[in-house]
Amino acid sequence: MHNKLQIGIIGCAKIAVKAVMPAIVESKTSRLAAVASRDEAKAREVAQQFGIEKSYSSYEAMLEDPEIDAVYIPLPNHLHREWAIRAAEAGKHVLCEKPLALTPEEAEEMVRAADKAGVKLAEAFMYRHHPRWDRIRAIIAAGEIGELRAIRGAFTFNGARMDRGNVRFRSDFGGGSIYDVGCYPISAARLITGLEPEAVSVHAQFLTEFGDVDMMASGLVEFGNGLSLTFDCGMLASYRNFVEIVGADGRIELEHAFKPTDEGTHGFTVTTNGERREERFAPCNQYALMVDDFARSIWGEQSLRFPPEDATRNMRVIEACIRSAKERVRVTL
């Protein structure tokens, strides 16, 4: 038996307060031990909301707390590198929001810092911890839908009413639809195929008022042998998040692929030989499962399910997609 992992939260972003912090409370392995914000009142407010004993008015102060085992970083993308490295150097394990960094080079630097400090570094792609993805991979490996032919995915939402100061609209903060939601179908295609892309071609809509931040994007990610991912992502479109996996003999369809919402959306459908069946899963909190996997890797009970090197590889694809969209060229990897 282990004492619960003592997790500190660096920042009070919406994703932390609405999703990850409640998941830590629900988890079997971990405890919310502290929260830090540069806004002292905000830190106290969030601490009171979750019954957290400690709140800090600086990130540095929390990193100096010897009772904190690990930190979760939900900060804007451009701050991931700095605070992941500083946390690692302080001896804290790090669970960092996706995407791990702004560039592959930044991600590699973060991985090196964690390795040097002897701490775990994990990217918070929560959807991968839902058991249905293991089942999907098993169905594919068993050849039930035949050789993979194509993958289609999308993640969009309409942020037209969001405050224009939101970090998603700021290029200097790592804003844009590819960083924010396009990373999901890209990650999923790599997970499904077990392959790394050979080339990408992406077209994007850049709105003048937001400089070079991509508001909508659609792309082709080539895996070789004719297999590819076609995806779209955006911050000005009706809400969607789905994946379709097409094989020579059948297909798998996931409605609400990345964020299941209720009992009816935790499964997926498989169609083979003209027959369609539904694979069902009990509702679960995939954020809590992610936290538990993270804690158990720290305790040595299992390896990190998705090592940080995977995040570095995903960043290479994301960077290539953004370059393709900006330069309007096909980019090889």
Beta bridge pairs of residue 150 = 228, 246
DSSP 53-109: SEEESSHHHHHT-TT--EEEE-S-GGGHHHHHHHHHHTT-EEEEPSSS-SSHHHHHH
Cis-peptide into 131, omega within 30 deg: no
Q: Is 98 one of the catalytic residues?
A: yes
User: What string of DSSP letters covers 199-232?
Assistant: EEEEEEEE-GGGTT-EEEEEEEEEEETTEEEEEE
Q: Which of 182, 205, 218 is nearest to 77 (CA)?
A: 182
Q: Which residue in 143, 217, 137 sits closest to 176, CA to CA? A: 217
Of the listed 54, 92, 98, 120, which one is catalytic?
Answer: 98
**Residue whose tokens read 């702004």:** 102
Within 13 A of 308's CA, how many CA atoms are on the CB side? 27
CB 243 within 8 A of CB 257: yes
Beta-bridge partners for 243: 153, 254
Comparing CA positions, the residue from 257, 236, 229, 251 lying closest to residue 176 is: 236
User: SS3 for 129?
Assistant: helix
Write out the catalytic residue numbers: 98
